[in-house]
A and B are shown apart, each in its own frame.
Chain A
Amino acid sequence: MTTGYKAASVQFQGVTKAFGSVVAVRDISFTIEAGSLVTLLGPSGCGKTTTLRLIAGLEMPTSGRILIGDRDVTKLPATDRDVSMVFQSYALFPHMTVLENVAYGLRVSGMAKPEAHAKAEDELALVRLEGFGERLPSELSGGQQQRVAVARALILEPQVLLFDEPLSNLDAKLRRRMREEIHDLQRKLGLTSVYVTHDQEEALAVSDRIIVMNNAVVAQEGSPHELYESPVNVFVADFIGDANLVKAEIKSVNGEIAVVRIGSIERRLPHRGLSPGEVDVAIRPVSIILSNDTSVEGMEGSVLKSTYLGNHIEYTVDSPLGELFVIDYRVDAPLPRGATVSIDLAERGITLVVDES
C-alpha cells in the first residue's frame, strides 16, 4: 500500500452531534491513519452517516474537535475542506454531461475549461469510462454512474475521500465487482478513505480497519480479523458474521487460556481477562458441527428447521444450550426436519464475550 502525497489522517476527539434532543453521535473519538481505508459499519440509525457528514463538513459538531491532518477543521464548512464524497444516490448533476460533472470541482475552483476537461478525460480513463464524457448521467447504467461519481470525487485529489453506502443501489453481482474496483483504486492512489456501509461482508472485504457503531457510539474498532475473531460484545459478534450466544462456565484459567465448559463440551479459549464463573460465549454458525451419528461424544439435539441454499444449508436446532443457528456446507447429506442429531463444536469460531452490553 502506498500513501498518496496529499492523503491525511482524520481524528475525532470527543465529538458529539445532536439534532435538537436527538443525539446522533455521542462523544466519539478515533483516529484514521493517512492512506488507509476505514469502514464505518453499523445498523441504520447508528450514527455512521452522521459521522461521515461530520468529516465532510456537511454537519457541524455540537461539541468536540475534528482534525484532518494536523489542521483543526471543526468549524470549517464543507466548501473549504479538502474532502470529497461519493454519495449513496451518486448525486450526479442531471443537467450536466458526464464530463462536466467530473470537471465540476476544478471549474468551481477556477480552472479554465479546456484544462479542466482534459483532466476530467484522464479521470474518466482511470475509471474505464473513456468516450462517455458527452453523455448525460441518465444515459448511463447504475454501475457507470457509480464510477462517474468516483471520478468526480477523485479529480480534486482530496486529503480524504468519503463513500456513503456507494454500492447500495447496485445489484449483488455488480456490487462485488465495484467493491473490488474501489478497493484497487484506493490502494493504487494511496487515498485516505472512509467508507460507510451496513453490509458487514462489504466491510470485511474492503477495509484496513473497521469502526463498528451502535446507538450513536463506537462499539468496537479494529482490523476485520480482530473484529471477527474477538468481538468485544454480543452486538459486534452478532453484527459481524452472525453468532449464537450461549451460557457457559469458565472452569479454570491458566496463563492466556481458559478452560470453558459449554454444555457437555469443554474447549480451551483465550480468557480475555475473565475469571472463572458464569460467562457468555459467542459461537459462529459454521463452528457448530451436526452429525446424525448419535453415538459420538457431544450433546443431543433435534432439527427444527432446515433451509437449502445451494452451497450451504441453514439449520435451526433445538439443543440443551437453547435454539442454535447452524450453517453446514455438507450439502450432499442434508438432515431432515425432526431428525435427532449430535452436536459438536469446532476448535475455532468460539469467543468469550467480555462486555455484556
Chain B
Amino acid sequence: MNKTVALWLAVGWAGYAVLPWYAIDDGFFGFAWFDGFPTNIDSAPAILQVMDHGRAWLLPIGLALVAPLAVLWRGGAKPWAATVLMTAGGLGLAYIVAQGFAIGLGGWEFGFIESAFGELGDRQFGMGYGALLVIGAFLFFLTQGLAKRGVINGDAFVVGSIGLVIALIAAFIVFPVASILISAFQDNDENFAPALFFIKLFSRDIWGTDCLTSTLTCGIAWNSLLMATLVGASTTVLGLAFALIATRTGFRAKKILRVLTVLPIVTPPFVIGLAVILLFGRAGSVNTFLEWAFAIEPTRWIYGLPGIWLAQMLAFTPIAFLVLIGVVEGISPSMEEAALTLRADNWRTFTTVSLPLMRPGLANAFLLGFIESLADFGNPLVLGGEFDVLSTSIFFAIVGAQVDQGRAAVLAFVLLAFTLSAFYAQRRWLGRKSYATITGKGDAGLHVRLPKRLTRTIYATALPWAALTAVIYCMIMFGGFVETWGFDHSFTLRHYTEAFSITTGLHGLVWSGAAWNSFWTTLEIAAISAPLTAGIGLLAAYILVRQRFVGKDAFEFGTMLSFAIPGTVIGIGYILAFNVPPIEITGTGIILVVCFVFRNMPVGVRAGIAAMSQIDKSLDEASLTLGATSFATLRKVVMPLLRPAIVAALVFGFVRAMTAISAVIFLVSANYDMATSYILGRVENADYGLAIAYSSVLILVMLAAIILIQGAVGTRRLSRRDTQQFGLEGGAA
C-alpha cells in the first residue's frame, strides 16, 4: 500500500468532508464557527454544501477524490495507478480553479456562462481551509502520478516539491501580476477598454518632455528613469571605492566597513530619508547653522531630486559594495601578477587587467542600484516634494484625491516593464558571464598594490561619504531624544513614552503606548513569515541546484521574478487579485505573510544556491546509495551543511518583513497595522520625534533578532579548527 497516497487521500477527505469549505469571516482560528457547524451554510464542509445547500458545483470535486481510492485498494505499483492519480489530481485541480473563478460574489462571473446555463441564483465566497487541503491533496496526487511515470528518476519527493513551488508561484506571483495586466486593459467599471489603456499609457504626465523646453515638469516615467540611472551610477562608483579600500589597501578600520553592509538591511527604507530631512531640511541642522553663521535664508532644496538621490545613495551604496567586494576579491592575483611580469606598471595593470575583469560586476551593481531605485517607495514619499516618480504615483492613484484603479494599473505596468527589462538585461548579459576566477586551487599570489593616485581618489570619495553615513545614523539614534528637531533641542523621553509606555491598570500591565499594537503585529508577522521564506527559498534552491528537469530555466525565472517586481506593484496586484473570491484574503494577516514570503523568497533562493553549489553532489548521491530517500538526504546531509544559508535566509526574511513598506502600505488593515506604515503615518503628520524613536527601536530589535537567530540555528562544524563565521554575504538586496 502506498503510504503517501493514503496520507494525501486522508487530507483531501478531511478538507472535503470535515473542515469548513469557505473562508470564515472572523478568522478560522477564532473557532466561533463551531457554533452551528456543520450545517450552517457559512461553515459547512463541501459535502454538506452539496447535500444541504444545493451547491451542486462542488460535487465533481468529491468524485475526483474517490478515484484515488482505487489505487489504494488495488496495489499502487501497476501502471494504471499512475494514470489514475495524474488524472484525478490534474482534473480535480483544474476544476477547483475553474469553479472558483466562474462563480463569485455575484453568481456567475462571466456573461457567456450565464447565457449558457441561465442565472445561478447563488453565490460563493473565498475558499477556506477545507478547499486548501483538497487543493493540496490534488496537487500531490498529480505529482505522485508523475513520479510513478518515472519523471525525475521517479522521485516523488522532488516532483512534489517542484509542483508545490510552481503552484505557489502561480497563485501568489503570476496571478497578481496578471491581475494588474488585466486591470490595465479595463476601465474602472471592469469593461474591456484597450483604447483607454493606450490613452492612459501614452499620457503626457507619464512621458511628457516639457522640462526640456519649458519650466514645466517632465513625465513621471522620465523622472523615474533619470533617478534610477543617477542612483545606479553613483552607488556603483561609491561601492567600488569602498570595495577597493576594503580589499586592496592597508586601511585600518575595515571591520567598520563590514558593519556598513549590515546597516541598510536593518534600516526601514524611509528612515534614511527622514534623517536626511533632519539634517538638510528647511529646519534641519545644516540650514540652521548656515542661517546662524552666514544669514543664508533656509530653502526647501532637499525636497525633490537632490533629496531622493542623496537618500537612495545612502541606502543602496552598501548593496553595490556587497556585490563589488565579491567581484574585487574574486579576481585571481595571478592575473595581475602576470601583467606585472609582462612589464606593466601598477596603473596599467589596474586599467588593463583588474578593471576589465570587474566589468560584469560593475554592470551588475549598476543594474541592482537601478532596480532598487525604481522600486523604492519610502524615500520618494518622504522627500519627493513636487518630483513625482512612478512608485509613489501608483500609491496616490489608489489612495489620492481621485481614486483611479486603472491609472494605478497602467503606472504599475510601466514600472514593471522597466524593472523587468533591467532584470532581464542583468540575467541575460551577466548571469552566466563572470570573470570571477576563484578555482579552488590555492592561489598563493598577492593582489597588486593600487596605484597611488587611485588610492588618493578613492579615499577622497569614500571617507567623506562614510562620515556622512555615520552622521545620518547618529541622527536616527539621537533624534528621538529631542523635543522638536530644529526648534527645541532639549532632551526628552517624551517620544519613547508616548510610543512604548507600559502602565499598570486594573488587570495588571497595560501596553498603553501608541506603538505597541503595530509593534507586536509586526513581530508576529515577521516571525511567521521568516521560516516560511527560508523554507520555500531553500527548497527552490535545492531543486534548482540538484535536479535536472524540463522547464528548469522557466522555474528559475519564476522564483527570482519577484525580486524584480517593485513592492508597490505587488501591493496593487495583491489588492486586485485577493480582494474577491476565490482567494479572498485582503484585510487579514495571511496576506501580509504571503506577501513577505514571496517578495523575500529570492533572497533565500540565492543564499541557498550559493551555499548548495559548494556542497559536492556526491554527498547526496552517497546518501541515496546508502538507502536514504531524497527527503532524508535533504534533512540529514544537506540541511546541516546549509546552516549558514539558513541563518542568512531567516535573518533576511525576518528583517525585511519588519522593514518593508512599499507593498505593505496597500495591505495593512485596522487589525493588522505594521510598524513601518504606522511610522509613515507619523511622518506625514510631521511627528518626526516619535517616528525616529520608533525607527531606532526597530533597528535595535532587528539587530537583537539577528544575534538570536544565529544563536538558535548555530554554525556547522566541519572540523575542530573550523571557526565558521556567519556572514551576510549570502545575498544582497
Asked if A319 is an interface residue, CB under 8 A from chain B, the answer is no
Does any Cβ of B come within 8 Å of A79's Cβ?
yes
Of residues 148 through 172 on chain B, the ones whose CB sits less than 8 Å from some CB of chain A are 150, 153-155
Flag B304-344 by CB within 8 Å of A: 1 or 0 each.
00000000000000000000000000000000000000000
B628 touches A104 (CB 8 A): yes
Interface residues of B in 618-665 (CB under 8 A from A): 618-619, 621-630, 632, 636-637, 640-641
B300 at the interface (CB under 8 A from A): no
Question: Given A87-B622, A88-B618, A105–B627 Cβ distance below 8 Å?
Answer: yes
What 1/0 mask marks residues of chain A from 111 to 153 whose CB sits below 8 Å from any chain B CB?
Answer: 0000000000000000000000000101100000000000011
Residues of chain B within 8 A (CB-CB) of A80 are: 627
A95 CA to B625 CA, complexed, in Å: 19
Q: Are A79 and B637 in contact (CB under 8 A)?
A: no
Question: Taking A60-B150, A136-B719 as contacts, is the C-beta distance between A79 and B618 under 8 angstroms?
Answer: no
Q: How far is the CA of A77 from the CA of B621 in the complex (A)?
A: 11
Given the interface pairs A94-B641, A94-B718, A95-B640, the reply to whether A108 lies near B153 with Cβ below 8 Å is no
Q: Does B616 contact A (CB under 8 A)?
A: yes
Residue in chain A with minimal CB distance to B624? A78
| Residues 37-85 (chain A) with a chain B CB within 8 angstroms | 56-58, 60, 75-81, 83-85
> Nearest Cβ in chain B — how far from A149, in angstroms?
8
Report the bound CA distance from A85 to B626 in whole Å: 8
Complex CA distance for A91 and B622, rounded to whole angstroms: 6
Structural contact, A95 and B641, CB atoms closer than 8 A? yes
With A60-B150, A93-B637, A94-B641 given, is the CB distance from A104 to B626 under 8 Å?
A: yes
Do A91 and B616 contact each other (CB < 8 Å), given the known contacts A58-B621, A104-B623?
yes
B720 within 8 A of A: yes
Complex interface bits, B696-733 against A, C-beta within 8 A gives 1, otherwise 0: 00000000000000000000111110100000000000
Shortest C-beta distance, B460 to chain A (Å), equals: 46
Q: Which residues of A contact B640 (CB under 8 A)?
A: 95
* Contact between chains at A152 and B720 (CB < 8 Å): no
Q: Is A178 an interface residue (CB 8 A)?
A: no
**A87 B718 Cβ-Cβ under 8 A:** no
Tell me if A89 is interfacial: C-beta within 8 Å of chain B. Answer: yes
Closest CB-CB distance, B17 to chain A, in whole Å? Answer: 34
What is the bound-complex CA distance between A294 and B155, given in angstroms? Answer: 71
Cβ-closest chain A residue relative to B147: A77
> B616 near A79 (CB under 8 angstroms)?
no
A118 to B: closest C-beta gap in Å:
18
Considering the complex, give the chain B residue whose CB is closest to the CB of A164.
B618
CB-based nearest B residue for A86? B622
- Indicate if the CB atoms of A79 and B628 lie closer than 8 Å: yes
CB <8 Å contact, B621 and A139: no
Specify which chain A residues have a CB less than 8 angstroms from the CB of B717 in the assembled complex. Answer: 95, 136
Q: How far is the CA of A143 from the CA of B619 in the complex (A)?
A: 18
- Kindly list chain B residues whose C-beta atoms are within 8 Å of the C-beta of A58: 621, 624-625
Minimum Cβ distance to chain B for residue A224 (Å): 27
Please pick, from A57, A84, A139, the residue contacting B719 in the complex, using a CB distance under 8 A.
A139
Chain B residues positioned under 8 Å from A91 (CB to CB): 616, 618-619, 621-622
Chain A residue nearest to B641 (CB atoms) is A95
Please report the C-alpha to C-alpha distance between residue A139 and residue B632 in the assembled complex, in whole angstroms.
26
Smallest CB separation, B461 vs chain A (Å): 43
Please indicate which of the listed interface residues A57, A75, A84, A94 has the most CB atoms of chain B within 10 Å of its own CB: A94
Chain B residues contacting A357 (CB-CB under 8 Å) are none
Contacts A91-B619, A95-B641, A138-B719 given; does A105 touch B626 at CB 8 Å: yes
Q: Which residues of B contact A92 (CB under 8 A)?
A: 622
- Which residues in A have their C-beta under 8 angstroms from that of B716? 95
Residue in contact with A136 in the complex, picked from B619, B629, B718, CB distance below 8 Å: B718
CB distance from B676 to the nearest CB of A (A): 38
Residue in B624, B625, B637 with the greatest tally of chain A CB atoms within 10 Å: B625
Q: Which of A56, A91, A92, A139 has the most CB of B within 10 A?
A: A91
Q: Which residue in chain A gives the minimum CB-CB distance to B548? A: A19
Known: A105-B627, A108-B626, A136-B719. A78 touches B621 (CB 8 A): yes
| Distance from B624 Cβ to chain A, minimum over Cβ atoms (Å) | 4
Chain A residues with CB under 8 Å of B719's CB are 94, 136, 138-139
Q: Are B154 and A56 in contact (CB under 8 A)?
A: no
Q: Compute how far the CA of A152 lies from the CA of B150 in the bound complex, rounded to whole angstroms.
A: 29
Residues on A with C-beta less than 8 A from B718 are 94-95, 136, 138
Q: Would you call B632 and A85 a contact (CB within 8 A)? A: no
Contacts of B720 in A (CB 8 A): 136, 139
Rounded to whole angstroms, the CA-CA distance of A152 and B618 in the bound complex is: 14
* Complex-state Cα separation, A194 to B153, whole angstroms: 22
Q: Contact at A108–B636, with CB atoms within 8 Å?
A: yes
Rounded to whole angstroms, the CA-CA distance of A77 and B624 in the bound complex is: 9
Q: State in angstroms the CA–CA spacing of A270 and B276 once bound together.
A: 95
- What is the CA–CA distance of A89 and B641 in the complex, to the nearest angstrom? 17
A109 touches B (CB below 8 Å): yes
Judge whether A93 and B619 touch: CB under 8 Å. Answer: yes
Known: A95-B716, A138-B719. A75 touches B150 (CB 8 A): yes
Q: Are B618 and A89 in contact (CB under 8 A)?
A: yes
- CB<8 Å pairs between A and B, sample of 26: A56-B621, A57-B624, A60-B154, A76-B154, A78-B621, A84-B625, A84-B626, A87-B622, A91-B619, A93-B637, A94-B718, A95-B641, A95-B718, A104-B636, A105-B626, A105-B627, A108-B623, A108-B628, A108-B629, A108-B632, A108-B636, A136-B717, A136-B718, A138-B719, A139-B719, A152-B622
Closest 7 CB pairs of A and B: A105-B626, A138-B719, A91-B622, A91-B618, A108-B628, A78-B624, A85-B625
Given contacts A57-B624, A95-B641, 15 further A-B contacts (CB under 8 A): A57-B625, A60-B150, A77-B624, A78-B625, A83-B625, A84-B626, A85-B621, A92-B622, A93-B622, A94-B641, A108-B626, A108-B636, A109-B627, A136-B717, A136-B718
